[in-house]
Structure 1
Amino acid sequence: MTRSLVDLLTTHASQQPDRTAYRYLVTGDCGGEIQDISYGRLAVRSRAIAAWLQERGLAGSRAMLLYPPGLEFICGYLGCLSAEVVAVPGVPPQGRSQNHRALTRMMRLIADADAKVILGSREVIAALGTMAEHLPELAEITCVATEDIPDDAADSWREPDLAADSVAFLQYTSGSTSAPRGVVVTHANLLDNQRVITERMGHTPGTIAEYDHELFVSWLPVYHDMGLIGPVLNTAYLGVTATLFSPLHFLQQPGRWLTALSHYRPHTSGGPNFAYELALKHATSDLLDGLDLSRWKVAFNGAEPVRAATLRRFTETFGAAGFRREALYPCYGLAEATLMVTGSSVQAPPTLIEVAETGPHVGAADAAAVGSGRPGPGTTVVIADPERQEELPDGEVGEIWVGGASVAKGYWRNALATRETFRATLKDREGRFLRTGDLGFRWEGELFVTGRLKDLMVIDGRNHYPQDLELSAEMSHWALRPGCTAAFSVDDAAEGERPVIVAETDPDAAGEFEKIIDVVRGVIGETHGLSVRDVVLVHPGTIPKTSSGKIQRHASRTAYLEGTLSVVGPPVMG
């Protein structure tokens, strides 16, 4: 009986020791330096790290993982699981001038998790050593560069006695609406969600054979749930091969993602909606001429609102390289449910519907709602009225509640938040549900996500979703950057709650700032019937986002009220 990913790694290392588990493109380029690790080697390195942890009596304690992108993180993570140590993935300090926000978050996570050891690369551990005099808390924690743990340490590894409810790791949320919280993910949660991902994405034995085990290409950060639970752990679950490279290398040259897809021809790859927009922005004719995307069957899109306009434009642009509309794969998930909750149907195009006064109906407009697919096997999704604790019928918007074996145990050392979020009940249904905080509706069995409960704007007695206003604004003028707009409301003494739009703007539009503001005001007024209080244009890259790229509307609102936005054009008061 398989109890954990540790058991599966042992099986793969025994049955196919020489098969490549992961390859890493060091420069982000297929023609550059490539590091790879086989299943046999992965088992040795994981066991060596596990044995080091076991010898120090760290079973049951927390280990902070601070690695740059690369294969060593995977060895450290699986090493923790193999030693019954709770892994805590984090973002390592970068360079001499540390990003203050990242450093503050790192120290907050170390303290909250009560980490007893920090595992990292030589470079990171050396950097932490230079910080110890300024951060005395670090001096009290054992730090080790896992590359320095010798292979022969694996000989003393003892197989852990893992139970289904043993904690595997803490996945800290990105904090789009609150301070980061550690989601307690068990080994049973991990295995169940891998089963869901495998079924929903069509990773069948036949598919694996057809693709000769080349299943994933991913640049997603491995400290975040989408990059870790998806490409990294589904690879270990199935015994297949994944090609990985750094998020920074993707951001520097988005074409590297598509080139890797064309070169390695995997079945599955994806990212948040902004990744597809970046790929479109850098889709030169030279790039398109050299691509073959015909083997890409699952182009997953999640973690932020999926835009119908993005899906259309991506298909139109990359269709010339063999990309098929049926490969587009909107999905929905969250750390509190380990990762995946719903996913589209493989080989079927996304469902687009327009919501009118008469109710939802199939449509194809760029502003249409995009379906995020159906629940995985054993996963229950209901749309609830949280006040009345009642399930809502199809077509009605409410809070998305989730039940099933993938739902995590709760938040680390936070009983109140756990009770509020993980223990919801319905009057007419048995069982407990996870309150996601997301709004959506179901239509013909498919989930449509419409927004965040806490971001909902109620203006003149009507509900307005910020992403609807953001999309309308972004589509109104070429200079507004896709996925880089924040809409929120503020209280106006004279007129009550009124919306504010903050949008990142292309610097080349310097002479059109006033025109852009007028256009945005007009579109919001015409489309949503709202009088905008302010339209504020800001420099690229300055709107607050979470580590996974979600707009932090509350932080944007605070910056607006405090006058700390990086404004490129003067705001026009409403």
Structure 2
Amino acid sequence: MARSLVDVLTTHASQQPERTAYRYLLTGDCDGEIQELSYGQLARRSRAVAAWLQERGLAGSRAMLLYPPGLEFVSAFLGCLAAGVVAVPGVPPQGRAHNHRALVRTKRLLADADARVILGGREVIDVLGALTHDLPELDAITRVATEDIPDDAADSWRAPDLTADSVAFLQYTSGSTSAPRGVMVTHGNLLDNERIITERMGHTPETIAEYGHEMFVSWLPVYHDMGLIGPVLNTIHLGVTATLFSPLHFLQQPLRWPAAVSRYRPHTSGGPNFAYELCLKHATPGVLDALDLSSWKVAFNGAEPVRAATLRRFTETFGAAGFRRAAFYPCYGLAEATLMVTGGSVDAPATLLEADESGPHAGAADAAAVGCGRPATDVTVVIADPERQEELPEGETGEIWVSGASVAKGYWRNAVATRETFRAKLPGHEGRFLRTGDLGFLRDGELFVTGRLKDLIVIDGRNHYPQDLELSAELSHPALRPGCTAAFSVDGGVDGEQPVVVAEVAPEAAGEAETIADRVRSAIGEAHGLSVREIVLVHPGTIPKTSSGKIQRRATRAAYHESTLSPVGAPAAP
């Protein structure tokens, strides 16, 4: 029985050394330059990196991984695992002009992880050499471009003594509501979550054979849990082939994604809700005519609120290219549970609860709650009252608690936060639970996620979820960018808490600022019975987001209070 993904890779490299593990579209285009890595090559490259680490006595220490998009990251990550070194995926610097926020994050991660070595691409390592003035701690850390480690180094590799409880890597959380923390993901956690992904997404041996081992297309960043543990590591777990390309190439031309799905015809591909919206904005009849999405069986949608409107519009638009409504696969997960917790049923449409069933949405079908599926075997999901820490009956909204072998070991060097988050007890249940900090309810065994516990907006004693207000705002005017709105409350003095909405809008729409603000105000008033204190329309890309693209509402609120937002107009308050 495999103890780790290192054992799994060794088996695949022995049994099918010539099979392509990954192909990488260097330009993001199917007809551009392509790099491929077979299972035999991947095993040798990862062992070469592992041997380099072992020879320097780094087993048991932490290695920061700073790579541009590409396959070298995968070899380095697996190399760390094969050396018994704890991998720490990070966001690579973008050059001398690397922005201040990213520098601060890198500095914090290096210190928190106590990294002894930095693995990266040649260009990244060169950039780091120029950043020692801003990051003097770099001088004390070994840095190596792993492309310079020869394949022959693999000959001295020694299999590490790994157990299920050995820490494989630190997944630093995105920090959408707090400072990032390093989640200790063990080898046992990884194997169990790969089992869950395989089970819930229908990656059976029969399906793999039907698809000729072509199972994934992904542009998702590999330094994040969704992109890494889903498409990249499930590929190793299954012994199949994945087609990857850069997140930047996707953002530059979103339709490269469905084009790659059409070309390679994978079973599974997905991303956050905003990615589907970006594809919709660029879809034209001519483009649709050239696509064939009929083989796309699992179009997973997670990491941020899943919008019923997005599911409907994407199906209507890309149905012309063969996309099926039943392919949409809403799911829920978080780094503290390694990745996946719940997922939909393959070949079944997503569950939608209309407004009268799921909350005060004024009968708008596009604002229906979207089910995120059911937990896999041996995963327990309960809804608890966060104050009384008691289980709530089905249908009632509370905090989502999770238990199972995928729940991580805790937070790196943070015993207090580990105890608060990973050690919850629940009457009537054995063992410990992970408190996710997310709100939701269960209906017929399916999970519906409604928001973040700490982001709740309480006005006149009534709870409002910020994403509900954000959705109402975004649907009110086409100039508002999908997934780029932040709603939060501020102290209105004698008037109590009052909502504020900050929304990104195209600069050319600045002349319509007053009209857009009126539309937003009316939509929120009608749907939620709220009077918005202020609506701030800002330039694209200026609302703070986590590295995974989640809106940072607290940071946006702080920028609002500090008057550091970048407004395109100043609509008058009512």
Q: Same fold (TM over 0.5)?
A: yes
Q: Deviations over 1:190-244 (max 9, x none)?
A: 0000000000000000000000000000000000000000000000111000000
* Alpha-carbon distance in structure 2 between the residues aligned to 1:135 and 1:381: 42
Q: What does residue range 150-169 of structure 1 map to in structure 2 within 5 Å? A: 150-169=150-169
1:240 aligns with 2:240: yes
Q: Which residue of 2 aligns with 1:516?
A: 516
Q: Which residue of 2 aligns with 1:465?
A: 465
The 1:30–1:432 alpha-carbon spacing in structure 2 relative to 1, beyond 3 Å, is: same
Q: Deviations over 1:140-174 (max 9, x none)?
A: 00001111111111111001110110000000001
Q: Give unmatched runs, 5+ long, in structure 2.
A: none
Q: What SS does the corresponding residue of 1:291 show, helix, strand or coil?
A: coil
The 1:358–1:84 alpha-carbon spacing in structure 2 relative to 1, beyond 3 Å, is: closer
Q: CA deviation at 1:134?
A: 4.1
Q: What does residue range 219-298 of structure 1 map to in structure 2 within 5 Å? A: 219-298=219-298
The 1:430–1:360 alpha-carbon spacing in structure 2 relative to 1, beyond 3 Å, is: farther
Q: Which residue of 2 aligns with 1:37?
A: 37
* Alpha-carbon distance in structure 2 between the residues aligned to 1:97 and 1:133: 13
Q: Which residue of 2 aligns with 1:189?
A: 189
| Contact residue 358 and residue 368 of structure 2 kept, 8 A | no
Query: In the alignment, residue 296 of structure 1 is paired with which amino acid?
Result: W
Q: What SS does the corresponding residue of 1:179 show, helix, strand or coil?
A: coil
Identity of aligned residues (%): 80
| Contact residue 353 and residue 364 of structure 1 kept, 8 A | no
Q: CA deviation at 1:339?
A: 0.1
| Contact residue 6 and residue 82 of structure 1 kept, 8 A | yes
1:483 aligns with 2:496: no
Q: Give unmatched runs, 5+ long, in structure 1.
A: none
Query: In the alignment, residue 507 of structure 1 is paired with which amino acid?
Result: P
Q: Deviations over 1:306-344 (max 9, x none)?
A: 000000000000000000000000000000000000000
Query: In the alignment, residue 540 of structure 2 is paired with which amino acid?
Result: P
Moved more, 247-256 or 508-517: 508-517
Q: What SS does the corresponding residue of 1:490 show, helix, strand or coil?
A: strand
Q: What SS does the corresponding residue of 2:367 show, helix, strand or coil?
A: coil
1:398 aligns with 2:398: yes
| Contact residue 353 and residue 360 of structure 1 kept, 8 A | no
* Alpha-carbon distance in structure 1 between the residues aligned to 2:97 and 2:118: 21
Q: CA deviation at 1:356?
A: 3.0
1:426 aligns with 2:426: yes
The 1:287–1:552 alpha-carbon spacing in structure 2 relative to 1, beyond 3 Å, is: same
1:72 aligns with 2:47: no
| Contact residue 65 and residue 89 of structure 1 kept, 8 A | yes
The 1:245–1:430 alpha-carbon spacing in structure 2 relative to 1, beyond 3 Å, is: same
Moved more, 221-230 or 541-550: 541-550
| Stretches of 4+ aligned residues off by more than 6 angstroms | 357-361
Moved more, 510-519 or 199-208: 510-519
Q: Deviations over 1:112-145 (max 9, x none)?
A: 0000000011111111112224422101000011
* Alpha-carbon distance in structure 2 between the residues aligned to 1:23 and 1:358: 43
* Alpha-carbon distance in structure 1 between the residues aligned to 2:168 and 2:357: 47
Moved more, 47-56 or 508-517: 508-517
Q: What does residue range 66-465 of structure 1 map to in structure 2 within 5 Å? A: 66-356=66-356, 365-465=365-465
Q: CA deviation at 1:469?
A: 0.5
Q: Deviations over 1:244-292 (max 9, x none)?
A: 0000000000010011000000000000000000000011222111100
The 1:159–1:503 alpha-carbon spacing in structure 2 relative to 1, beyond 3 Å, is: same
Q: What SS does the corresponding residue of 1:428 show, helix, strand or coil?
A: coil
* Alpha-carbon distance in structure 1 between the residues aligned to 2:572 and 2:408: 46
Q: What does residue range 490-505 of structure 1 map to in structure 2 within 5 Å? A: 490-505=490-505
* Alpha-carbon distance in structure 1 between the residues aligned to 2:66 and 2:321: 38
Moved more, 90-99 or 552-561: 90-99
Query: In the alignment, residue 64 of structure 2 is paired with which amino acid?
Result: M
* Alpha-carbon distance in structure 2 between the residues aligned to 1:219 and 1:307: 21
Q: Which residue of 2 aligns with 1:557?
A: 557
* Alpha-carbon distance in structure 2 between the residues aligned to 1:551 and 1:132: 31
Q: Deviations over 1:340-391 (max 9, x none)?
A: 0000000000000025379899x98100000000001111100000211111
Query: In the alignment, residue 67 of structure 1 is paired with which amino acid?
Result: Y
Aligned residues: 573
| Contact residue 536 and residue 572 of structure 1 kept, 8 A | no
Query: In the alignment, residue 268 of structure 2 is paired with which amino acid?
Result: T
| Contact residue 480 and residue 506 of structure 1 kept, 8 A | yes
* Alpha-carbon distance in structure 2 between the residues aligned to 1:146 and 1:411: 28
Query: In the alignment, residue 441 of structure 1 is paired with which amino acid?
Result: F
Query: In the alignment, residue 206 of structure 1 is paired with which amino acid?
Result: E
Query: In the alignment, residue 295 of structure 2 is paired with which amino acid?
Result: R
* Alpha-carbon distance in structure 1 between the residues aligned to 2:189 and 2:304: 23
* Alpha-carbon distance in structure 1 between the residues aligned to 2:525 and 2:41: 61
* Alpha-carbon distance in structure 1 between the residues aligned to 2:406 and 2:557: 34
Q: Give the root-mean-square deviation of aligned CA atoms.
A: 1.3
| Contact residue 77 and residue 87 of structure 1 kept, 8 A | yes
Q: CA deviation at 1:510?
A: 2.7
* Alpha-carbon distance in structure 2 between the residues aligned to 1:174 and 1:102: 12
* Alpha-carbon distance in structure 2 between the residues aligned to 1:476 and 1:417: 40
Q: What SS does the corresponding residue of 2:354 show, helix, strand or coil?
A: strand
Q: CA deviation at 1:18?
A: 0.1
| Contact residue 355 and residue 367 of structure 2 kept, 8 A | no
The 1:355–1:303 alpha-carbon spacing in structure 2 relative to 1, beyond 3 Å, is: same
| Contact residue 171 and residue 182 of structure 1 kept, 8 A | yes
Q: What SS does the corresponding residue of 1:494 show, helix, strand or coil?
A: helix
* Alpha-carbon distance in structure 2 between the residues aligned to 1:245 and 1:357: 40
Query: In the alignment, residue 366 of structure 1 is paired with which amino acid?
Result: D
* Alpha-carbon distance in structure 2 between the residues aligned to 1:86 and 1:360: 47
Give the TM-score normalised by the residue count of structure 2: 0.98
* Alpha-carbon distance in structure 2 between the residues aligned to 1:50 and 1:130: 27
Q: What SS does the corresponding residue of 2:24 show, helix, strand or coil?
A: strand
